[in-house]
Structure formats: C-alpha cells, structure tokens
Structure 1
Amino acid sequence: MSDLLSPELSAARAAFAAFLDNAPREGRTVALHDSDADGVAAGVVWELGLKRLGYADLARVIPDRERNAWTEANRARVQAARPEALFVLDLGSQTESVIPGVPTCFVDHHRPEGAPHGDTLISAYTWDPIPNTSLLLWELLRPLANVEDLDWIAAIGTLSDLGDQAPFALIEEAKKKYKAKYLREATTLINASRRASHYHPETAARALLAHSDPRALTEATSGDVEELRAARAEVKAAMEDAKKVAPVFSGQVAWLRLNSPCQIHPLIAQIWRTRLPKYIVLAANEGYLPGRVNFSVRSASGINVLEFLRGIELDLPEGEGNYGHGHDQASGGSLPIVHWRRFLEKLGFTIS
C-alpha cells in the first residue's frame, strides 16, 4: 500500500502552496470540479480545506452534463461566480484558458493536454500508482491545514474511481476507522446524483458537507439524502434494462446501443470489458442528452483507448462534440448525431 510519500508529492505540494500564496485570502476563489464522486469529493475537500486556511470568499461550480470545462455554457457558469483565482479539479487540462486572465490551478489525474502559460498544473498522471483527484487534493492540503477528518470524503472519491482494492493506505485506514460497508454505501449514493436522469450533483456535495462520517450520511433522512436514495433506485432500474442489451461487433470493437436518460453507459462499458477481454467495448447512450450520443470506451486487453479514439479523425467543427480525453484505459466522448454516424462508419458499423 502506498502512502503517497514521494518526490512527486513534495513537488506538487510546493506548487499548490505557491499558487495559494498568490491567491489573496480576501479575494474571490472559485473551484470548477467534476460531478462524479471523485470530483464532488475533491470540491468538498477543497472548500473545507480552504475555509480552514482563512479563505472566506469561496464558491464551487459544477459543470453541466457535458462535464467539459471549456464549453461556452460551463465557462459562463464560472464567469458568473466572479473568480479572481480559479481551481479546475478532475476535469483535465488544456493549453487553452478556461477563463482568460484568471490565474488557474489544475489538479488532476487524467492524461494532461498542457496548461495555459503562467498557470499551474498539478498532474498525477505519471505517478506510480496514480492517485485520483480527491485523494491528491487531500494530500496537497495536509501540510497546510488540519484536514485529517476529511479522510472519509477523499476515500469515497478513491473508491469511486479506483475501486475497493485501490493501492493507497488511505483506503485500508478508512475502512478500519469508518467500516467498509458505510464507505461503499456512501460512495454509491454520492455517485447516484450525477447518474440519475435529473442530474443534480450539488445534492451530493451538500450531503458530504452536512455529515461528519459515512455512516451518518448513509443513515440520514434529510431531503438531500432521500433524493440520493431515489436517484440510486432510478439508476439501478435503468441498469437492469441496459444489462439485457447485446453487443454488435466490428473488428476489435464491441458496440452496445443504449437509450436511457441515466448516465449508465460507463457502468455498462465496465461490465462488458471483463466479459469481452479481447475487444474494445463501446457503450453508447442515445437517450442521455437530446440530439447527442454520449459514449464510454473501455478495454481489458491492454489497448490504450485514448490512442485508439484519437486515431479516429472526424475533423469536428468548434463546439461540435469531443472525444478521446481521460485515462489510457477509460475514455469516451459526446457527439451530435450526425457526427456520431460518421464515427460509427469509421469503425465499420452501420446505423439504422
């Protein structure tokens, strides 16, 4: 088990502290963070940690269902928060600024695609093992503030992204301290808010902020936690239907055609990657966003799915979809229907 004590962590902590030193405590500091359990956990750890450091004017922003920091809609969300300093958590990095002129710190574990000149990129992508974003952020804060009691929140993000056997000491310690069943249940509930059809991940963030440990969260009867339970039930029912879908094959790709308002395509792709270990699994959801197809790509064969996707050239117009970001073994994208049809044709599929 790793405790993340490494030269890479020391350098990351120094870069994080240096960025904070240039973000005045009285200024407006904003975090744009992902909506999955790791992203929400990172956002909550960030908020609580910075408050303990004396930053009083804080705001968290969660992107829409496209989960892309650089879309016009999500940039508008960030602009509305009036940032003087910006953190982008668990949403990748690019050489293009999210908000030009605003000093930005990217904290992430996906494959980096650069960073704007003068901004700070803290990426764990080359570390071994690679920590998820909420765990990384918790470790960055530990020398600066007392955040030991936020370990369970970082553990939820870690369990969500890396699973029960994540190779970090935090997981085993958190299981002993809080009991594994409560951590797993809390992780499922927190994830449900972004998977359900109504997409309200702020509910998950409020639930984390309102409770002191995973058992208190899972046993709560508050409106937010009840909403998470309802979301979980909806996702479970959608998954039962989606599991009945059979794959269609073309070359090395297995395509599963889904139609659900719930974000179940990553889960279905993950299930089928082990059933079809010699294939690249493409789980595509035609019902998630109007006029678009959102898809997840996984492989158990050692194929780098990022490189695979980037080898499919569509020459998309600006703002007309994206794909091929994320992890070497877990990627995907979102395309308008007309471009999705071209994407399938490139793979050798036909669509009716």
Structure 2
Amino acid sequence: MKVENTQLIRRLVFASLSRATLPDWYSLGARFIRVGMNLKRKASDAGTVSRARRRIESMTDYCDASPRTDASGSILWPASGEAMEYARNFIRACAAAQSKVLIVPDKDADGLDAGVILHKTLISLGLSPGLIDVHLIGKNSTVHDEVERAAMQAKIPKYIIVVDQGSRAAPPIIDDPDTHSLIIDHHLSDDFPENATVVSACHYPPVATSALLTYEICKPLNPNIAASCGYLCAMGTHGDLGNTLKWKPPFPDMTEVFKTHTKKAINEAVSLINAPRRTSKFDVLSAWQALLEAKSPKDILINTRLLNARAEINEEVERQTHTPPKFSKDGKIAVLRINSAAQVHGPIATRWAGHLNSKALEIVMVANSGYRPGYVNFSCRIARCARSRDPPVNIIASLKAAADLDTGDLTERMGESFARGHKEASGGIVPAAEFEELMALLKVGEKPDPKPEDAGKTSKKSDARPQKNNLMNYFAKTG
C-alpha cells in the first residue's frame, strides 16, 4: 500500500511541476489534500464495520425477545395465565380475611417498588393499613436463612408475600402451617420453597421485572392501580433493565405514565432509592419509607437521607472504579478486584461493561472482598461489545461451566449463593478461599497461548521497512 501511495504522489508531482505557475500551486495543493482524504477514508473502512455493529446494537431492545404463545397463538406473558390468576386470588383472600399480611420485598428498586405496589393494592381492596407489615432482609442474608425465617415468624403473619428475592428449593418460608405464602419473582429458577403459591416470569420472554410482574397482577384488581402505581412499575423496571428501554409490546403502554412523570424524574428516583442499601449501613428502611410516603417521583427527589446516601456512594464508586482489570486466559471474562464496605461492585461492573471492548470479551466481573468478612461478593454484567452475540451470552451458565472444571466439590463448597440472578446480570457471595479457586480455574491473569497462525511470525513493527520516499525528501533529491 505504501509503494502504491508513493507512485501515485510521484505521478501527480511530475504531471504538475512541468507547467505549474504560482496560481497552479494552490490547485496542486488541493489535489494532494483530496488524495490524502481518499487514502484516509480507505484506511478507516475497518472502523466502519464496528460503527455499524454499534448502530445495530442500539437499535435492538429488550422487548424484542419473542414471547411464548399458547396453542391458539395467544401471547403468554408476563407469566402463565393460571399462575397470574392464582396470585390475584391470593391477594383478594388477603384483603378479605382482614388478617395480618407480611410483605417481604428485595432491597433494590425493583423489589421495593413491587412491595409498595402490593401495599397500595391491598389497601385499595379494603385491608386495614395496620394489618400490613414489612420485613426487610438483613445485610448478607437471604430469605431462606434461619435467622430471617425466625424473624418473619415472630411477626405472626397469616399471609406472606415474598417479592423479587430469588428462589431455590427450600423449606416453607416460615414453619407455621397456618400461614399462606405467595412468591412473586423473575429470577431464573425452577425450584421454590415448599407449600408456596408461585408466579414466576423467568420462562416468559421478554422477562418482566418483579415490579412489572406485580403491576400486571394487581392492575385488574382495582381500576385506580394503573394511575397510582404506574410510576412505581416504571421505576422498578428501569432499575433492573436500564433507562433506554423502549416499552414495546408485550410490555404495557406507559405513555400516560411518562406524560405525568418525566423519565428524568423516574430515573433520578431510581438512583436515589438504590443508594441507601449500597452504603455500609445498609439502610434499606429509608428507601422503603420514602417510596411508601411518596405520591410521585418528585417527592423522592427531595428526600435528604436518600440524597446524602447517593453522594456517599458516588464518592465510593469513583474511588474504587479505577482498579485495572485482569482477564481470564481465554479473554472472555474481565475481573476487577476491589475492597469496599459499600455495595458498589454492581455499579462498577455496569460501568466497566460499557467501556471494555474486545472480540473475545463476554463478561465483566467485579469482586469485592471488603463487603462481608471472609467472603467475596461479586457482580457480573455482559460486556456491551458482547450483547448482540449469537448465541447470546449466559452469565450463569458460564460461571457454572467454570466451576465444573474442578474435579472435586468446589460447586458444593461455594454454596447456594453462587451464580444467582439472571442470565444477563448475575453474581454471588462465596467464601474467599473458594473464590480464589474459581479464579485459578479461569486462569485469570495468565497470558493467552499464541495462535497457531501466528507461530513463527515477527511483529509488524520489526518486520516493516521504513519508507524511503516521501514528498519532502523527493524535492530534496530532485531539486
């Protein structure tokens, strides 16, 4: 290419110098500029492909996933019709019984918004507010831990509604046989606690968030739910799926919601609701109370406690986010190690997933050894450059495949909290020693083996010969 470029320039020079007058030099310069622009355009063709790929990625939307249909062709979404009706009947029974109901929401915006939707729905159906209680799971605990089961049972509920907690095979939510339990969830699982009514969205693409699933369950129960809880549904959904969601069918039409409450206000409110639980104090109660008392997202935006918590988290994210990543030997997983008492591993994983870029990269993992003594809390996100891969990246499957490389009992020792969540956004809490074993299996930090086609080749820089002819020394030689 360099030889051809030199010959082209020489022809232009020879053709022009023999008849060039002063005005002609301006024309000659313009011709050189045009040639340079054309050559630069050719050199940038490779970048055009990546730009086109980014445009395609930006055009795809979460809602574009093909939904399931029944024998008649009707769409099955956000869960099976039978499960949805069971859930509605359960909520009606709660209100009719006028007995104590315990709501057990997850700590994030999706879970908390879903919990408040249930709270408002039960009151709209006539249940006394004094009969509704909430149980917020403690830091580093799950709804299945004995200490949490005992705390829930101590509140003597007649009905329990567990929302967005993730599911696995387990004993009943509490040990009281007279207590009825409903589980509303969207995390990937086929196993659930015993004796519970279950409605799960995990097998009904595009998978609804727990807030959206709860909203769709509750909407038919009272005509005012759509207006009073629409912004809560939007907040919970944006909290899990991001604020670029296009809300295309089968997702509900939220036009009226976004006319009443701007997307900017909703997204700001999501950020504030998520902040307190990320602090070292794990102050989920402040977020729950703020949502319960709010009439609109604007009420959340002026909550001093939430604003202070967000400022604290933003400072910690900025302090921790500059950790350089190390890569697995195959280049598919980037791992960043941090040490923080705050729950910032998720936001940092999301940030780096949008920046790292390579042909091999699939998953960005941020591992936090400072959140729980003796354990590593980690969050994984699909790298932006891998979101349109076919077949799609499955974080849970990839993590489990890595653990299965062990010939011993590593998977069992890591426990039930390994590789939980969603195929697109997963994570876990595992003992520190076992996490290091997982890193060794992934060969994090090891250099990749040279490709067979590269064997025996020298680097381009050492092999390339410097170009002897250029425009400047040409005139020096011929002048």
Structure 2 length normalisation: TM-score? 0.67
Alpha-carbon deviations, 1:126-176, whole Å to 9, x = none? 223221111211121111123121211121111111112223445544222
Of stretches 121-130 and 319-328 in structure 1, the one that deviates more from structure 2 is 319-328
Q: Deviations over 1:2-59 (max 9, x none)?
A: 7x99543543431212323554522221121100011111111111211221233111
Match in the other structure for 1:345: 440
Alpha carbons of 1:158 and 1:338: their partners in 2 closer, same or farther (altered >3 Å)?
Answer: same
The answer on 1:188 being equivalent to 2:271 is: yes
The answer to whether the aligner puts 1:265 opposite 2:360 as a matched pair is no
**8 Å Cα contact 2:91-2:122 kept in structure 1:** no
Within 5 Å, give how 1:152-301 maps onto structure 2.
Answer: 152-166=231-245, 167=247, 168-169=251-252, 171-219=254-302, 225-251=303-329, 252-277=332-357, 278-300=361-383, 301=386
Match of 1:326 in 2: 421
- From 177, 188, 194, give the equivalent of 1:111: 188
- The verdict on how the C-alpha distance between 1:292 and 1:154 changes in structure 2, with shifts beyond 3 A counting, is same
Other-structure match for 2:228:
149
1:31 aligned residue (100, 103, 106): 103
Give the letter aligned to residue 55 of structure 1. L
Does the CA contact (< 8 Å) of 1:111 and 1:326 recur in 2? yes
1:86 aligns with 2:160: yes
Contact 1:248 1:254 in 2 (8 A): yes
3-state SS of 1:143 partner: helix
Moved more, 191-200 or 66-75: 66-75
Aligned length: 343
Where does the alignment leave 5 or more consecutive residues of structure 1 unmatched?
Answer: 220-224
The percentage of aligned residue pairs carrying the same residue is: 31
TM-score relative to the length of structure 1: 0.89
Q: For residue 307 of structure 1, give the secondary structure of its aligned residue in structure 2.
A: helix
Larger radius of gyration: 2
Mapped contact 1:25–1:54 kept (Cα < 8 A): no
Q: Equivalents in 1 of 2:380, 2:371: separation in Å?
A: 16
Checking the alignment, whether the CA contact within 8 Å between 1:31 and 1:87 is kept in structure 2 is: yes
CA separation in 1, counterparts of 2:320 and 2:423?
A: 25
Q: Is the 8 A contact 2:173 2:194 kept in 1?
A: no
Q: Could you tell me how far 1:244 is from its partner in structure 2?
A: 0.9
CA distance in 2, matches of 1:19, 1:211: 26
Equivalents in 1 of 2:352, 2:430: separation in Å? 22
Q: Would the alpha carbon gap of residues 67 and 155 (structure 1) be closer, same or farther in structure 2, given more than 3 Å must change?
A: farther
Alignment of 1:49-88 (within 5 A): 49-56=121-128, 57-66=131-140, 68-88=142-162
Greater mean alpha carbon deviation, residues 245-254 or residues 228-237: 245-254
